Amino acid sequence: MVSDTTQEVCIMGLTLAGKTFRPSDWSERLAGVMSPFRPGGVRPGSHLSYSPWCIPTTRGGVKCVVVHRDLREAEIMAWDFCMNFARDNELQVYEGRSRLR
């Protein structure tokens, strides 16, 4: 469960059982789907970059996606999509950027 005051959530590419999530490009795919959700809305060419509210990255060699609370404020359904993706795939979710460094 994510608290209402959390500014960022890190969805890790590790399942609750500790296994690496596949496919290996899952973080880029998820962030790509979220690319239209950005400050100022969709603009020509905005699909060519990631939204600042949903960024793929790695932590400790593990792929992850950092989702900013502003996404929730701008479009609750996009936020829910990310959180449901993590829940449905049994991925580890942490408040903040992550415990892994």
Question: What confidence tens digit (pLDDT) does each residue in 28-80 have?
Answer: 999 999 999 998 776 766 667 899 999 999 999 999 999 999 999 999 999 99
Q: Binning pLDDT at 50, 70 and 90, where does residue 88 land?
A: very high
Q: How far is CA 47 from the centre of its chain?
A: 16
The residue ranking higher by pLDDT, 86 or 99, is 86
Domain extents in the chain: 8-95
Q: Is the model's pLDDT at 97 over the cut of 70?
A: no
Residue 50: which residues within 8 A CB-CB, separation 6 or more?
Answer: 31, 32, 34, 35, 56
Q: For residue 96, what pLDDT is reported?
A: 80
Q: Is the model's pLDDT at 2 over the cut of 80?
A: no
The CATH code that applies to domain 8-95 is: 3.30.70.2340
From CA 79, how far away is CA 89, in angstroms rounded?
Answer: 16
Across 14-21, average pLDDT: 97
* Element spanning 15, H or E: strand 8-15
Helix, strand and coil in the chain, % to nearest 5: 30, 25, 45
pTM reported for the whole predicted model: 0.86
Across 6-34, average pLDDT: 95
From CA 18, how far away is CA 26, in angstroms rounded?
Answer: 16
Q: For residue 4, what pLDDT is reported?
A: 65
Q: Is 32 helix (H, G, I), strand (E, B) or coil?
A: helix
**36: Cα within 13 Å, side-chain hemisphere:** 5
